[in-house]
Amino acid sequence: MAEQSLIAIEVVYALARSQTLIRLSVPMGTTVAQALARCGIASLHPEIDVDAVDVGIYGRSVSPMTILEEGDRVEIYRPLIVDAAQARRRRALKKRTR
């Protein structure tokens, strides 16, 4: 049986005051979904639904079926509390009223 090559990746989940970073080696051909299942992030953060969460690699949104490459950093995105455009409008309005 041939030995399968491993690649080094990271899985990151950031909260307002802390960040969880998990480094692991996975076989070449591993998908984002498989890496999320393998890294155990859901046991550390039960609020994460690894089957439905939005993910990206280095700030670029990707599908859970994306094949990982050496050095990829899988980012788990939290739902936005406020739409970014709304937040900018509110800040601009505050500046005008000062």
Is 40 within 8 Å of 63 (Cβ atoms)?
no
Q: Sketch the domain layout of the chain as residue ranges.
A: 6-97
Give the residue carrying structure tokens 């601009």: 92
Helices (H) and strands (E) in the chain, counts: 3, 5
Residue 3 confidence (pLDDT) above 90: no
- pLDDT value at residue 98: 67
Secondary structure E strands in the chain: 6-14, 19-27, 54-57, 60-62, 73-77
Q: Write down the pLDDT at residue 80.
A: 65
Provide mean pLDDT across the span 55-71. 96
pLDDT number for residue 22: 97
CATH code of the domain occupying 6-97:
3.10.20.30
Comparing 85 with 9, the larger pLDDT belongs to 9
Strand order of the sheet with strand 60-62?
19-27, 6-14, 73-77, 54-57, 60-62
What's the predicted TM-score (pTM) here?
0.77
